Structure 1
Amino acid sequence: MRWLYGRVIGRWCSVRFSRKIGHGGAVRGQLITTPIFYVNAAPHLGHVYSAVLGDTLHRHTGLCGEESGLSTGTDEHGIKVQQAAAALGLNPPELCSRVSQQFRTMFDTMGISYTDFVRTTEPRHSRAVCHFWKTLEERGYIYKGTYQGWYCTSDEAFLSEEQTTEKTNSNGDKIRVSVESGHQVHWMSEENYMFRLSSLRPNLLKWLQTDPIHPAPFLRIVQKWLEEDLPDLSVSRQSNRVSWGIPVPSDPTHTIYVWLDALINYLTVAKYPDPSCSPWGPSTHLLGKDILRFHAVYWPAFLLAAGLPPPAKLFIHSHWTCQGVKMSKSLQNVIDPTECIGLYGRDGFRYFLLRNGSPERDCDFNHNSVRNLLNASLADALGGLLNRSTAPSMNPEQCWPCYQCTSVPISVKDQLETLLGALQGLPQLVDQYMTTFQVHKALEAIDGGVRSSNAFLQSQAPWKLSKGTEEDQAWGRCVLYLTLEALRLYGTLLQPAVPGLAKTILDRLGVGHDYRTLKGNPFFAATRGENCGFQGQKLGPDCGLLYHRLLDKEEQGLCKDQTQNGNRCT
């Protein structure tokens, strides 16, 4: 009775290319980048969030059979680094090496699969910056002039009058601050090299028509900026004031502006300006909203001035608060990533950030929310489904049972069609969310599938069917096959977000490495009457609990008492 057929999987959306899972075709690589992070302080939650988002998009691209690179690194020049080093009694290179290693260690601990970790103090980067500067000079975009205006040391940026506002500080004094960042600004006048930013406004407006900035609210912000006058940009600092940086090639009395220097890191990892390498191509930049102006106005303008194409996509994310309040050391509400890894594990921490983070709005971090989400989604729903379907009591032979279309009861037909239709469309839905920078919705969709599978398993009760008639037992085996195949799908789709937990799932199911991809890897083949090599295959070794439930302080105290009394605590 072959009445079950999978839904046809439609067009696949992508950042730079169209792709079809399970079909051949030309592979076009892409470069995915995180910002490079400033080394005036140790890594914080925002840095980790950016890196995990970039890593997830990179891993998902590979899961779909496409080539990509992921670059991250550290921004090591500028007056803030110069001042931070002096405050610690270090020279700038010592501070840079120390903090850069902290970032690398943190990202390695978080499983960030970067293909390049760039430091702006590397010789390859200095060569790229100097070549780029000379190109801008030769093309007539650099000139010498006197700049007067408000300067924000914290943001390393000159601001117009409209970009600042008056504020009363904690001492009751009137000060001027940046409207965007809230940091204090000071009036400054000095001779700098200037970049002809104003002349590129029409080109930038044309670039915006390609819809490069996501989510849409940030595109509208940039459009508003470009509706206003765009003054020329100071791109150097006098070296007697800012000595820690790359000197202007033709004038060592000036240091190249740290943001021009830093943005060129994306060219550095593309091996610019080596003529033997592939030319720079549009890439996907992932960044926080606080550096939107630098990436959405200055960076594409620099590239256009140098005769290079602007970025294809800018994916912007918002910030994290702690219980609704902006994190700050003075409030003692800063979330320590290292502590979170210890409490929730690497994959638990990754899952919460990706699932609760939303690009359009600031997101809140509190430990109760983390515990509730991880218990519900990882320990109970996903872990429970895996442990129930692979337990010896339900699966005594510890193998994948066979699926027979003729064993499906008529009474279950509609329910099963609905479930299979949703699950076979899940890879397409997840891909669409991933490639439109809605990672949280991708994980919500997977979690919805897990809950549907749990409900189906519970409603069909294969543990009862195994004690019934021969027909009941055959249908019970089908239910178990469907559950294991659904778990194979979830484990495969979760690899970019929680690679460790996904590996545990696929190992327990006995899935070989050739079947841990979305390319040429059909799911639920047996329900379409097609050959499925997993039928009859042995499961992998027992992995125990997929994710241990997290206890609150009251439960931890009760658990401690039970353990001391010789009882098990679960």
Structure 2
Amino acid sequence: MKPLTALTVYTTTPIFYVNAKPHLGHFYSMTLADVRNRWCKFNKRDTFFTTGTDEHGLKVQMAAQTAGVDAKMFCDNLASKFKDLAKLGHIDYDRFIRTTDNDHYKAVYHFWNVVNANKYIYKGKHSGWYSVSDEAFYADTDIVESTDEKTGEKIMISKETSSTVIFQSEDNYFFQLSEFQDKLLSFLKDNPDFIKPKKYYDFIINELETRTLTDLSISRLSTRLQWGIPVPNDDTQRIYVWFDALINYLTSEGYPNATVMPRPTHLIGKDIIKFHCIYWPAFLMAAGLQMPKQVFVHGHWLMGGRKMSKSRGNVADPIKISNYYGTDALRLFMMKYSVLDTDGDYSEETLNTLRSEFIDKFCNLMVRSLSKNFNIERALSKLKTESLESLVKNVGDNEFSDKILFIQSSINNLKSDIDEDITNFEMHRAVQKIFNHAPLVNGLFDNYEPWAFKVKANDSEEVKSAKELKQDIIIFTALDSLRVILIILQSIIPEYSALLLDRLNVDSKKRTIDYANIGSDLSYGKDAIFKKGSKVPLSKLELLSQ
């Protein structure tokens, strides 16, 4: 494992439960975290990024039994599907952690023993309403009577998740969560940016101020739950899946042997906020370990404003979408319409429209700039001997000069303008700022019509030179702006960016942040002119559903 420091930017996705194959929500979480990690790495920050699978618990045990296979084999099969999704999605993780990994077992054992030695674990009888689906107990006030849609029988369900609950009573180990209510509240009030967006911070504050935390059952009888990590020194009990799963963030850092551990930034879905913002901080306090840096919470993806469901036929398959439109089309769509404090609404039409917009704005800009009517190599050669600021002054047109220098400044500032947006998972803001530059740069062609600066046979050398200079400045500004934009877009759409940068013949070693400025690379463009028969890098598609 790469060495980590206290300054390492450590980004995590939730680990995904393997009771079913991956879906669009998993792709979304992975991509959000991947874009942030790529961006931080692009900005020369030391980074560490983990994703993975949560493989223990009653749900997995029951799913494996239903499938008629060994639980580990069942997990191996599904874990490979999540890895396949990550590969398809260009997810550049440092570790894919599985809770069945040997070092995770060791980390969980050690963590349990530390919390137990600190006297925050005791054994007692537990009675309550348990949801197999949620792997959680609920208080009487958290459940309500309902009717089973299939059988018509009366059932009890969780108010929060609508999952069926059953009443259970057994001897378990308990974590003294009640001891941490005031400590958690104090910590959160001292760190108002710990949970983002604010609406989720307010939700947890309200929970802690209006509800009394009760001690948490952190084990299950092994006669009922076999598929789990045994409680140290008590093989009659298995460790509660959430106590086990949350420790994955420590396992990935090398716990308990690591001497230095960075504070992770957790990205989670809104349905697991209590586990990450109440239970997990309390567990860490009990073990005497540092808090995470932040927890960012995102919404879910709907279709047509409704939760995706096979029975409704409104399920979006990220693999099918990526195979037809290209993975980067889905990455771009999810980042463009990713607003953390709301649910997203998947639409194939919107995705295809956005993909077409990218082609219109950026691919067409490349085609226009690399027209056989222009000489990009001549334009670049001028910049090797004289700055853009100096060249535009020679044109003698103040309005033109101001326009070119404004574009230069705006493009040069783009990477800093979107840094905070991407670091804080506000991807929609970053994408919009990038796309806002397209009409600005394309406007150079509409406003100045560089193809009109044709040199005539009777033109004097002075007139010829003036025409070539203005044309070259326009083409250079347009194409170099595109080059910088594509370098910046690598974190969001790595495949599309590489495709277009390759078409520009940009050196692979000159796609770093050091070259994300106008004029910082003058070595590209050789033999890049679109000739007869040249292929456009991307073409538009008909809707898959048609």
Q: How does the TM-score come out when normalised to structure 2?
A: 0.91
Q: Shift in Å at residue 134 of structure 1?
A: 0.3
1:401–1:386 distance in 2 versus 1, CA, 3 Å:
farther
Residue 416 (1) aligns with residue 395 (2):
no
1:326 alignment counterpart: 307
Residues 192-271 of structure 1: matches in 2 within 5 Å? Answer: 192-208=172-188, 209-210=190-191, 211-227=193-209, 228-271=211-254
Using a 3 Å threshold, how does the CA distance of structure 1 residues 44 and 399 change in structure 2: closer, same or farther?
Answer: farther
Deviations 1:330-367 (A, max 9, x none): 11211111110122111111111111222111111121
- Matches of 1:537 and 1:322 in 2, distance apart? 43
Which residue identity does 1:437 align to in structure 2?
Answer: F
Equivalent residues of 1:401, 1:535 under 8 A apart: no
Distance 1:246 1:294 in 2: 19
Which stretch of structure 1 is more off in the superposition, 26-35 or 356-365? 26-35
**What RMSD, in angstroms, separates the aligned Cα atoms of the two structures?**
2.1
Match of 1:478 among 473, 477, 487: 473
- Change in 2 beyond 3 A, CA 1:539/1:252: farther
Q: 1:544 aligns with which of 531, 535, 538?
A: 535
2:495 to 478, 495, 500: 500
CA contact (8 A) 2:50 2:96 kept: yes
Flag structure 1 segments of 5+ consecutive residues without an equivalent: 1-25, 526-531, 557-570
Q: Which residue of 2 aligns with 1:407?
A: 394
Q: Percent identity?
A: 36
Deviation at 1:395, TM superposition (A): 3.6
DSSP-derived class of the 1:126 partner: helix
544 and 431 in structure 1: CA distance in 2 versus 1, 3 angstrom threshold: farther
Alignment of 1:284-299 (within 5 A): 284-299=265-280
Q: Confirm or deny that 1:453 pairs with 2:441.
A: yes
Q: Which amino acid aligns with 2:348?
A: H
From 37, 47, 65, give the equivalent of 2:16.
Answer: 37
Q: Deviations over 1:246-301 (max 9, x none)?
A: 00012110000000101111111101111xx3333311111111111111111111
Letter of the aligned partner of 1:548 in structure 2?
A: S
1:81–1:92 CA contact under 8 A, matched in 2: yes
| Residues 115, 343 of structure 1: alpha-carbon distance in 2 compared, 3 angstrom cutoff | same
CA distance in 1, matches of 2:100, 2:260: 23
**3-state secondary structure, aligned to 2:15:** strand
Quote the residue 1:121 is aligned against.
Answer: 100
1:528 maps to what in 2?
A: none
Aligned residue in 1 for 2:77: 98
Q: How far does residue 225 in structure 1 lie from its aligned partner after superposition? A: 1.3
Greater displacement, 252-261 / 171-180: 171-180
Equivalent position SS for 1:185 = strand
- Tell me what 2:343 maps to: 362
| Pick aligned residue for 1:336 from 317, 322, 326 | 317
Name the CA distance, whole Å, in 1 between partners of 2:527 and 2:503.
Answer: 6
Deviations 1:152-209 (A, max 9, x none): 1100001122322333332444322112211111111111100011111222123323
- The alpha carbon displacement at 1:56 in A equals 0.6
Could you list the runs of 5+ residues in structure 2 that have no partner in the other structure? 383-387, 457-462
**Secondary structure of the equivalent of 1:425?**
helix
Structure with bigger RCO (C-alpha 8 Å, 6+ apart) = 1
Distance in 1, Cα, partners of 2:80 & 2:207: 37
Q: Which amino acid aligns with 1:131?
A: H
Aligned to 1:8: none
TM-score by length of 1: 0.87
Check conservation: 2:506, 2:523, Cα contact below 8 A.
Answer: no
Residue 439 of structure 1 aligns with which residue?
Answer: 427
Does the CA-based 8 Å contact 2:6-2:260 persist in structure 1? Answer: no
Question: CA, structure 1 residues 406+417, in 2 after alignment: closer, same or farther (shift >3 Å)?
Answer: closer
- Matched pairs, number: 520
**CA-CA distance at 1:369 after TM superposition:** 1.1
1:312, CA displacement in angstroms?
0.5
Letter in 1 for 2:30: A
Distance 1:251 1:88 in 2: 29
| Equivalent residue number for residue 506 of structure 2 | 511
Aligned CA distance change for structure 1 residues 127 and 47 (closer, same or farther; 3 Å): same
Structure 1, 196-205 or 421-430: larger mean CA deviation:
421-430
Q: CA deviation at 1:417?
A: 4.2
Q: Corresponding residue for 1:523? A: 517
Change (3 A) 1:433 1:536: closer
2:290 match: 309
